[in-house]
Amino acid sequence: MRSIKRSGFSRDDAILYYDFKNKSITKATEIIIKAFSFYLIVTLAISGYIFTKDIKIVESNYFLVVGSVVSILFVIILLSISWGVLTGLRDIENTLRKINYRTFSSLGMNEFFFRGKMVGIIVAICCCLIIFSIGFGFLIKLYYVS
pLDDT tens-digit map of 10-64: 778 778 888 888 898 889 889 888 988 998 898 888 888 877 888 787 877 888 8
C-alpha distances (whole Å) from 91 to each of 4, 95, 100, 131, 145 are: 15, 6, 15, 29, 49
User: Quick check: 121 pLDDT over 70?
Assistant: yes
pLDDT tens-digit map of 61-93: 888 888 888 888 888 988 898 898 899 889 888
**pLDDT for the residue 9:** 67
First-to-last C-alpha distance (Å) of the chain:
70
- DSSP character string of 132-143: HHHHHHHHHHHH
**pTM of this prediction?**
0.72
1 pLDDT band, cuts 50/70/90, is: very low
